[in-house]
Structure 1
């Protein structure tokens, strides 16, 4: 057991791995990470699946069978990915039994549907039914069109990982969508205690975008703000989360067994080599949150990460001061978040295109 990761977990941070492959499942690597590295959840995306399917031969037999049965590329992708998520859910089932908020495995609705509410709802329901495990999470993007889809999925009793959140303003809308879904579920007689949700607030991409703008401005004041925006943004998001938890609306739902929608720090791999490689873990330690990490970040923290207490609670004023300084330096924060969401959706769609191309290649091989 990694002492550093255990200390992080003991501080109330749920450690999730941002990676999955059939090899991890079948070799016991995922189970080892749960046992030895304090991993209590998994997130996936199409790029992760594309890499897994392209490497090795563990998918070949299933691809051959599906091709022989006349399946098209979308059907093959659906079968391969839902099988992996179902099997990963089974690996993590003991974790979920002990701590129902964890032991979760996320699978994403088709990214090309990010701006189509009804198609996103249909995709979420199809994935939920196919995986057929109570500890699954269906990832729905926090686009304007995604918000009503989040509400509808929660209302149907589907546990949701809301992804692609960049701004606190959009995060507030996500929390409202979650509460609305719970209220509708309650009216429909759904047991609210069976519904779990996380809100994935993206971190490193905020620094990448804002740092580039600060460097373009080039003043001493601007350059001194590099590397501060992402953590400040996340701390402001947590303050918004605390505000909602203190509301009468939430308290009424909690009284009937509803679970809070925990903040999840996503995109926590550090992209700027000038920054500490555990920055977005160490500086965002706070109880009742999730940090989903690429394996590289997980291993870095296991080797040299530090936990020095709660780094988030009570720091909203300092975080707002950073944002005030960014605005004063000439950063258009509203534009930053529009650009990040637009690029985020485009990257999601590109990752789907990559997955489709990868699976088509495997299908062609299966056809001989």
Structure 2
């Protein structure tokens, strides 16, 4: 009997795990998730690496070596994280080969402290791609205003990109334009554009968290009835935009020349409200050609009891627009919400990055002390 995760893949959804640690790689857990849960890629972020390093037995030997050679905290983070992403990329190499380079992808993010610095983002993206040195790596760049030209420049250099922290349709349109411009420039520079891949990571549950907080403050029965609806409506309208933009003459010309579409990726798919179904952002966002990157808890919930009933996105666009009309009637300023979420998203990743720096710095000091004994 087919499992829910297998059914999801049959509907055209790629399942990526939103987590990575050396422990997962060394124990064979990652390979097992590929075999038993239909996982075909991995996304990482500073929060994930901070968590992995804080339970750092698998990293102790490397930290001692880095301490012995006098590595700085940031040098150690760079080496540790690129080693993990390179090893994970090798685990996913068969998936990468069998899907023609579409899946089998592993993402690594530029430092969130560079989110508002275009040139520094470009430089670090190139540095990360060169250090990992695997064809299936994706470099994560946030969709801030400063991130948009960086996305174009990195794609133009022939590097595949995962665009992260997208909350609004307006910004998503700019992300698609940045991607297409990058592919046009890559083509002009003589790069093989058929090997360039990109995903656009549209955040879902965080939208509901912020919107529902404001709806609770409104307190009317009409406002209460809208809880848990904005995240899905926003993502579904993003898919409509994706369909429209990649059917344009501009996109068609690139696709005919061998380019690939920039796939929508549903991120932040762990359900934060206990009153909502724990598979909500999986079963209600099924559409061909999307990626759903799930924390392990959501992946296991989907595998255990997810009900995959076919496409739950196309055909919902008018209904989704009605949700936004009702939100506006309730006095919810969605443009303000998406800006707040972007600013918060950057700040949360910076806080995780600083936590990661602190963890590694402490480990390096311990390694130096041990070596001196």
TM-score range, shorter chain: over 0.9
1:257-268 matched pairs, under 5 angstroms: 257-268=258-269
Q: Which residue of structure 1 lines up, in the alignment, with residue 316 of structure 2?
A: 315
| Cα contact 2:152–2:179 (8 A) shared by 1 | yes
Q: Which residue of structure 2 lines up, in the alignment, with residue 31 of structure 1?
A: 31
| Cα contact 2:96–2:136 (8 A) shared by 1 | yes
Q: Which residue of structure 1 lines up, in the alignment, with residue 168 of structure 2?
A: 167
Q: Which residue of structure 2 lines up, in the alignment, with residue 108 of structure 1?
A: 109
After superposition, what is the alpha-carbon deviation per residue over 1:259-285, rounded to whole angstroms, capped at 9, x for unaligned?
Answer: 100000000000000000000001001
Q: Which residue of structure 1 lines up, in the alignment, with residue 139 of structure 2?
A: 138
Query: Hey, which bits of structure 1, 4+ residues long, moved more than 6 A?
Result: none
Aligned-partner SS, 1:59: helix
Aligned-partner SS, 1:70: coil
Q: Which residue of structure 1 lines up, in the alignment, with residue 81 of structure 2?
A: 81
What is the alpha-carbon distance in structure 2 between the residues aligned to residue 132 and residue 24 of structure 1? Answer: 21
| Shift in Å, 1:50 | 1.4
| Shift in Å, 1:2 | 6.9
After superposition, what is the alpha-carbon deviation per residue over 1:138-190, rounded to whole angstroms, capped at 9, x for unaligned?
Answer: 00000000000000000000000000000011000000000000000010011
The answer to whether residue 18 in structure 2 is matched with residue 18 in structure 1 is: yes
| Cα contact 1:2–1:36 (8 A) shared by 2 | no
1:290-309 matched pairs, under 5 angstroms: 290-309=291-310
The answer to whether residue 122 in structure 2 is matched with residue 121 in structure 1 is: yes
What is the alpha-carbon distance in structure 2 between the residues aligned to residue 115 and residue 323 of structure 1? Answer: 29
Aligned-partner SS, 1:8: helix
Aligned-partner SS, 2:92: helix
1:313-352 matched pairs, under 5 angstroms: 313-352=314-353
Q: Which residue of structure 1 lines up, in the alignment, with residue 218 of structure 2?
A: 217
What is the alpha-carbon distance in structure 1 between the residues aligned to residue 367 and residue 301 of structure 2? Answer: 39
Size of the aligned set, in residue pairs, is 368
Q: Which residue of structure 2 lines up, in the alignment, with residue 41 of structure 1?
A: 41
| Shift in Å, 1:5 | 0.7
| Cα contact 1:9–1:38 (8 A) shared by 2 | yes
| Shift in Å, 1:58 | 1.1
| Shift in Å, 1:4 | 1.1
| Cα contact 1:182–1:192 (8 A) shared by 2 | yes
After superposition, what is the alpha-carbon deviation per residue over 1:272-299, rounded to whole angstroms, capped at 9, x for unaligned?
Answer: 0000000000100111000000000000
The answer to whether residue 114 in structure 2 is matched with residue 90 in structure 1 is: no
Q: Which residue of structure 1 lines up, in the alignment, with residue 5 of structure 2?
A: 5
What is the alpha-carbon distance in structure 2 between the residues aligned to residue 306 and residue 3 of structure 1? Answer: 10
1:252-291 matched pairs, under 5 angstroms: 252-291=253-292
Aligned-partner SS, 2:164: strand
After superposition, what is the alpha-carbon deviation per residue over 1:36-76, rounded to whole angstroms, capped at 9, x for unaligned?
Answer: 11000000011111111121411111111111111100000
| Cα contact 2:67–2:365 (8 A) shared by 1 | no
Q: Which residue of structure 2 lines up, in the alignment, with residue 243 of structure 1?
A: 244
| Cα contact 1:2–1:37 (8 A) shared by 2 | no
The answer to whether residue 178 in structure 2 is matched with residue 183 in structure 1 is: no
Q: Which residue of structure 1 lines up, in the alignment, with residue 52 of structure 2?
A: 52
What is the alpha-carbon distance in structure 1 between the residues aligned to residue 47 and residue 216 of structure 2? Answer: 30
What is the alpha-carbon distance in structure 1 between the residues aligned to residue 116 and residue 2 of structure 2? Answer: 42
What is the alpha-carbon distance in structure 2 between the residues aligned to residue 241 and residue 68 of structure 1? Answer: 50
| Shift in Å, 1:314 | 2.1
**Aligned alpha-carbon RMSD (Å):** 0.9
